[in-house]
Structure 1
Amino acid sequence: MGNIDKRNRLSEEVFTYKITKDNKIFIYWMGKQVTILTGKASGKFLKAIEGKNHLDTQLVMAKLTGNFKRGNEKDGK
C-alpha cells in the first residue's frame, strides 16, 4: 500500500457501502453517496472485496469512485 496511500487516509473509514435487496450497491464517501453499482458492476465489486481486509476494501472503493472531487467543494460548516 506504501505509495498508494501516502496521507494514510484509507486507514480511516472514509468509504462505506450498502447493499440493497435487488443487489444494488451504494458507495458513500464520508456519509455522502458518490456512486451506485448495479448488474455486473455490483457482482464484480462484491467479488473484488471478498476476503479482503479493511484497507484493501477501502482502496477498491476509492478506485471505483474515481476522481469525483475537484477541489471546489464546500465543507458546509
Structure 2
Amino acid sequence: MSHPPSDPHLGFSYRVRKTGDVEILHQGRLAATLRGHEAADFRQQAGDEASADAQQLMARITGNYKRGNERQAAAHPRNRR
C-alpha cells in the first residue's frame, strides 16, 4: 500500500510491503527501509500520514531535516571566515 506525500514542502511518503517492512520515500525515491520492530513502531506512530507530525517523523528517521541550530553554528568561531 503506497501513501502519497501529504506536505509538498517535505515530500515524504511511505509504503508497507507484504513482509511488514516500511519503505520511506522522499520525492518518490527510496530514502529508508524499516524492518521488524522499527517498522511496527513507525506504523503505530505515523498513523495518519496527512499530518505534519508524520512528515516530521519520516524526516527524522531519514535524517533529512534541519536541526534548528544552523544560526548558532554559523556564529561559531570554527565557521567564521
Distance 1:32 1:39, change over 3 A: same
**Hey, what's the Cα distance between the residues in 1 that align with 2:46 and 2:25?**
16
The percentage of counterpart residues that share the same residue type is 25
AA in 1 matched with 2:17: T
CA shift, 1:11, in A, is 3.2
Q: Which residue of 1 aligns with 2:76?
A: none
Decide which structure has the larger Cα Rg and report it: 2
Give the Cα–Cα distance (whole angstroms) in 2 for the partners of residues 28 and 53 of structure 1: 14
Aligned residues: 59
TM-score normalised by the chain length of structure 2:
0.63
Q: CA deviation at 1:54?
A: 2.0
Where do 5+ consecutive residues of structure 2 fail to align?
Answer: 1-5, 66-81
After TM superposition, give the deviation of residue 50 of structure 1 in Å. 2.2
RMSD between aligned residues: 2.2
User: Comparing both structures, which one devotes a greater share of its residues to helix?
Assistant: 2
Paired residue for 2:15?
18
TM-score (norm 1): 0.66
Structure 1 gaps, min length 5? 1-9, 69-77
